[in-house]
Amino acid sequence: MKKVGLLAAALFCLQGAYSQTVEKVTSPADWVNTLMGTDSKVSLSNGNTYPAIALPWGMNFWMPQTNTMGNGWAYQYTADKIRGFKQTHQPSPWINDYGQFAIMPVTGTVKFDQNKRASWFSHKSEVAKPYYYSVYLADPDVTTEITPTERAAQLRFTFPQTDSAFIVVDAFDKGSYIKIIPAEKKIIGYTTKNSGGVPANFKNYFVITFDKPFTVADTWHDSVLVKGQLELQANHTGAVVGFKTSKGEKVGIKTASSFISFEQAELNLQREIGQDSFDATCQKAKDTWNKELGRLAVEGGTVDQVRTFYSSLYRVLLFPRKFYEYNNKNEVVHYSPFNGEVLPGYMFTDNGFWDTFRAVHPFFTLMYPSLSAKIMEGLANTYKESGWLPEWASPGHRDCMVGSNSASLIADAYLKGIRGYDINTLYQAILKNTENEGPLSSVGRLGVKYYNTLGYVPYDVNVNENAARTLEYAYDDFTILQLAKALNRPKKEIALFEKRSQNYRNLFDPETKLMRGKNKDGKFQAPFNPFKWGDAFTEGNSWHYTWSVFHDIQGLSDLMGGREAFVGMLDSVFNMPPIFDESYYGTVIHEIREMQIMNMGQYAHGNQPIQHMIYLYNYAGQPWKTQYWIRQVMNKLYHATPDGYCGDEDNGQTSAWYVFSAMGFYPVCPGTPQYVFGTPLFPKLTMTLEDGKKMVINAPGNSEQNLYVQSASLNGQPYAKNWISHQDLQKGGALEFRMGANPEKTRGTDPSAYPYSYSNSKK
């Protein structure tokens, strides 16, 4: 009885720790769990993330590597061995890595093979923060610590007493070079290993300096140790340096890399670390994260909510990657992953716009407009250097996903007042996309001739995922329409994109009230199974993609038969069983499995196409349903744990949904200056905008039960709309929500409260 009582008390205390409220967050970086989403595998993604040891948008990340060289799932939470500590540029396991090399401590005998040097470890002796990582390696009896800068890092190894302490450097296969310089306590090298999207001269040059002289200095290639040789170039090279160490002795490493040259790598090291100690670099990294994460200050949430919020915000701030460096004149330069030249100006990479146009880049336009301006300059440079806008870059063009959603990024940034880049070049690049197929299916517009003549990409002309392409092209054409008007383009051009923005109508099937593939002859594809994934759609089915009319929800509602029918279709998404047809893929892909096991009907939050759909009740006078389902998704599908996501995190997009939703609104239609209301998660959230203004979002009384918005006010004045403008948020002030436990079914019901729809703008 006594043991049972103690157990019950312990469980009560644990529950209390998670339900107690956090009144103030003083160091948001310490609330981040970088392991969120790392319990993933090919067949089931709980995030497909890795614990990135990095600064926001840093050129280089670091990570512990549990899997073998070349495996996209480089760190898996269920693993029990670490093979090395890797500099990485991986944006996704599906896209994989480039510019990578690894460092690993060993003791006793020299072990440089990735499997032989692997050491047992436990999460119980692992500390994983954005600015600092530490783990105890059991086999060599060594503790490894890492702290980052944007292009450099410091590593620190605490060794036992031994005359056989070694550090292995692995420059990886597919062509690498290594050189040991004992007099300078230095190793330099380069790696060419990549996963595509690079020119022939691609190299990542690295420099590693040590704070202790070497007693051993050998190189190796493949499986052969070459004793006494200090320089090697081969398919797979590496180095081993050794020392005598006393118990608890710390050996420090400073390292940096460059895509330009060894000299630039040295410059990056001196500029970003110089004479700083490990602890000084760590403090600077922590301060940087606290500054950026602290731009959104939350109060009154539970421990779990605060952890999940800042862990998600950390993910939003990782990509796109700064693919530029500062030369010896302090000028911004970059190695072009498109033509192999070193050129002036900004460049960003490691981003799939099919994912991130939805919420990540709108978050930057709201909170980081100067960053957004640099990203726009980078897009213009990409077009000048390759002839095309990027849609999935890593580091150059990659053949992945559909749409030409770069138009959405560019239009949204310009229409929200962001300047300081060549908008005319970007607009010409957008126009080129609308008339041409690219060298890869993901660049330009695949099926564009059909789209421009028929108003849709047909199902039967061997263009895969044709309905998805049509819907995304139509939305992108709407954003081009808005940009064309802002740039005072010719009336004929404006009329063309206005017409094309309505091409979504060509795929609407009035019989099923769903989007459906259509053949070249104008007949709908048959037989039609709305639960069939892929085929006419991209990583989803018709129930997911039907809502991809971001710019004209009223038009979609009208096609479905009006407000009541539209709401009925929205409700059906959650009311249907999670059945599926996987025949197009020939196997149950992980996105399907994730929808199935979440038990939310056909709602597949683990993938991007449907993530905005919950907010659409605001367009039909039932905002309380948006509020209900948002809180359901946030509570059920997100946690700051290794299995904390419900599918691929994808460069910050699934995280950005959570961050925006916690703020109380979401950018359903980038390219319009509106954010659609949901329900705020915290009693108080303070946004510190880039110019220092503050927008305070108050929701006193907010709780798990009080999730429904009863009324709203903006700067003390009653606010009846179901959305708030970008301009109002940028002004700062106070947005207040009165919360309650029951739906308020009179607020937001009048069409005058609805967010923007193209069809309403024409009435």
pLDDT tens for residues 517-551? 999 999 999 999 999 999 999 999 999 999 999 99
pLDDT for residue 15: 46
Q: What is the pTM of this model?
A: 0.96
pLDDT-derived band at 3 (thresholds 50, 70, 90) equals: very low
Task: Check whether 9 has a pLDDT greater than 50.
Answer: no
pLDDT for residue 603: 98
pLDDT-derived band at 1 (thresholds 50, 70, 90) equals: very low
The span from the CA of 604 to the CA of 610, in Å, is 7
- Residue 271 to residues 173, 254, 275: CA-CA distances in angstroms? 29, 12, 10
Contact 687, 694 (CB under 8 A): yes
Closest CA to 354 of 415, 408, 422, 413: 408
Strand partners, 596: none
pLDDT tens for residues 691-738? 999 999 999 999 999 999 999 999 999 999 999 999 999 999 999 999
Task: Check whether 234 has a pLDDT greater than 90.
Answer: yes
Torsion, CA 260, CA 265, CA 271, CA 272, rounded to 10: 110
pLDDT-derived band at 763 (thresholds 50, 70, 90) equals: confident
Q: H or E stretch including 207? A: strand 204-210
pLDDT for residue 762: 86
Cis peptide before 527 (omega within 30 of 0): yes
**Average predicted confidence (pLDDT) for the chain:** 96
**Which tokens sit at 216?**
């051993």
- Residue 248 to residues 162, 213, 214, 277: CA-CA distances in angstroms? 10, 17, 18, 18
> Which comes out higher in pLDDT, residue 645 or 10?
645
What residue type is 641 in one-letter code? T
pLDDT tens for residues 184-210? 999 999 999 999 999 999 999 999 999
**Which tokens sit at 361?**
């880049």
* CATH hierarchy code of domain 51-276: 2.70.98.10
The span from the CA of 270 to the CA of 254, in Å, is 10
Q: Which residue has the tokens 């989007």?
A: 515
pLDDT-derived band at 16 (thresholds 50, 70, 90) equals: very low
Closest CA to 19 of 304, 310, 307, 311: 304
pLDDT for residue 745: 97
Closest CA to 362 of 409, 292, 402: 409
pLDDT-derived band at 663 (thresholds 50, 70, 90) equals: very high
Percent pLDDT > 70 in the chain is 98
pLDDT for residue 11: 42
pLDDT tens for residues 128-185? 999 999 999 999 999 999 999 999 999 999 999 999 999 999 999 999 999 999 999 9
pLDDT tens for residues 739-753? 999 999 999 999 999
The span from the CA of 747 to the CA of 720, in Å, is 7
pLDDT for residue 561: 98
pLDDT tens for residues 357-401? 999 999 999 999 999 999 999 999 999 999 999 999 999 999 999
**Which tokens sit at 309?**
């919020």
pLDDT tens for residues 262-313? 999 999 999 999 999 999 999 999 999 999 999 999 999 999 999 999 999 9
Task: Check whether 579 has a pLDDT greater than 80.
Answer: yes
pLDDT for residue 19: 62
Three-state DSSP state, 680: coil
Mean per-residue pLDDT, 619-632: 98
Closest CA to 168 of 89, 234, 109: 109
Contact 503, 450 (CB under 8 A): no
Q: For the chain, give every domain's residue range.
A: 51-276
Closest CA to 202 of 194, 214, 210: 194
